[in-house]
Structure 1
Amino acid sequence: MSPHLPSAAAAELPERVLRFVRETVIPYEKDPRNHGHGPSEDLVHELRSHAREAGLMAPQLPAEFGGHGLTHLQTAAVFRAAGYSPLGPVALNIMAPDEGNMHLLERVATAAQKQRFLRPLASGDMRSAFLMTEPDDGAGSDPSMLRTEAVRDGSDWLISGRKWLITGAVGAGFGIVMARTEERATMFLVDMDSPGITIERILDTIDNSMPGGHAVIALDRVRVPADQILGEEGRGFDYAQVRLAPARLTHCMRWWGTARRAHDIATDYACRRQAFGKPLIDHEGVGFMLADNEIELKQAELMIDWCAAVLDTGAKGTHESSMAKVAVSEALYRIVDRCVQVLGGLGVTRDTVVEQAFREIRAFRIYDGPSEVHRWSLAKSIKRRMKEHRAS
């Protein structure tokens, strides 16, 4: 029997999630605990208590970790529904970086590591961080520039370096730390309250949907037992691809829902607001923008589903996820930009969620690889294929 949720039940789940987001989550958007560095821990716990009651926590995970065992394609519809509010993914425990970390732990961690780290993460009782990006000419879009080092000390490792733009570090129970070892890059599972970890500051960024914000972190001889190496020593870059290809796509899924919400708000406004003797939508300048939104939402949805279907075949999906990341992030940005324009002055206020959608999706065009890096990677693949074709 397939471990995945049967298709009939999976088809009903997105509607359940969308109803939950509309009725339970959206009223929290104006909550004062939803502030400039993301929702507070108290708000996160409250939202997740509602999701638990509704049976909607981390639905993509296997049943043994409390989920519904969704395929990537089934996950796409559910995550799009959850993204209808920026708080929806937080409530369902499918927000970055936790969702990507769950995916990686499920595939790479030992049984003991899953029990200690994945189980509380999946239940929503613990948050996590992913510590790879560095300042000071360190790793960013080019991971080979990794400067953080781990050196052996008996049966332990000592990790030293600096990381930045580390999402969710404040309040996280553990982090997955990428560090250079004598065997190339290695991933470590590190308790965030370990001696030697200092959160230097929380960066003020244009996005604010993720709990814990984005931090700058110093690691000074942080001691980590050898049994907290994630996977095999020296395979950190390989595991990064295990995590990043699906994570790029789930970002697309979640932010598609937010762009859909912005479009719905703009459409409702354009149908009600009168100017020059008729509703705004009857003016071609406005109506055509909304028509373009409909077209690009559908194109983005199809791109997401195509890439999800590729991942469901067992393929790595690196090439496909890069294409989806570029196409979807840029399309969603154009959509929310038009929504701001349709709303006019209202669009630049916080009276609607459209202003936040604009900021969040602008940031999405950079994290998990800016469009230019993905295009560069795709161009290299095109060149390689052409060389192979000429040689054959």
Structure 2
Amino acid sequence: MTESVPTLVTYAVLGWMALNVIFYVSEKWRVFSDIIWILLAGIAYGWVSTNPESGLPELVMDPDVVLYVFVPLLIFASTKKMCLFHFRPIIVPAVIAGTLGIVVSMLTIGLAIHELLDVALLPALLFGVIISATDPLAVSALFKGNESITENQKLLIEGESILNDGFVVTVAGILALLIFSMTSFSVVDTSVSFVTHIAGALISGALLGRLARFILRLMHTSHYILTTNITLALAYGSFVVAETLHFSGILAVFAAALAYGYKPDKDRTNRLAEERVWEYLDYAANALLFFLLGTSFFALTANTDLPVSHTLLAIGLLFAGRFVALSLLKPLMRVEGMRLSMNEFWLLNFSGARGAVSVALILLLPADFEYQSLFLSLAFVMILFSLLVYPLVTVRILSKMTR
């Protein structure tokens, strides 16, 4: 144990130095955000570590760590920037895209996997919903300081992603229960469970968020150390409470963050200090998560030989699932009272990069699940393609929006 501690500290120092180099490269070249360069560094590390002679430890994502350590922090950090006061104008299109959009995407991808790869229907739908969870981080960095996109458009992309993550986890949990528990399907029971998961999460999260505000008022202070401590406790506490009550932890964190920051704080100095702390926590957590996603690629797909046809199918379904969903729902979605323009439609399409949540959900499935290796391979193809290609397309769309 005494020998491992200096080793861990050495790795941490090298990691911080590497982050500075990556940040400099991303700012200099502006091809990808620094998070994507971190992902590529993780892939390179994973490839080298597969060679026993390298002496590097093999780093693989732990799904429980992803969902219980990274997800609450990242969801709270993203939602905290919104504030319900500003989120109201785009809540309807965000909910439509984050719920009905996921259902359409699930059916599009799931039915294709079922027919073309001969996967049983329920597992195919399970994969369809899991891979529909989006992570806007890969492209959101491109929005900073970009005057061609409005604040409401940014909120729509970020808010829809958070909502669809919570919706995906809820639907995936219900489908997994039907597949692995041999429970007979009941429309009434499934509907009640679904509504309970969502309503319970939103109510419990909102109550905890307002309770945190009430505690701060009792203390008659808003010093950033105190508010940072209480918001960290709120982020993880709302997730754990919701999961313990069998609600959606992600939606509970989302509701808690919105309820806590219903209106902007008047104490601007302490609020800005707290925001800086949360900005760094968000960056550090994302950097580590994307690095682990990259390092896990070779380790989790080593025993699976994915044919070229399957790879092309995965890339095609990556685009088709979200495109079909947004095409059908486009007439219902409005931003600032206006229907989505074609540029906004394509921006929403290509801001839907996939992330580590999908891999974590697949890893949480039973180890003897016959489709797990196939699902992991398909998911990694779709995730890596979306993270590496979608930001390049997004840059082109943003350039068109400035003209």
Q: TM-score, normalised by structure 2?
A: 0.23
Q: Which has the higher helix share?
A: 2
Q: Which has the higher strand share?
A: 1
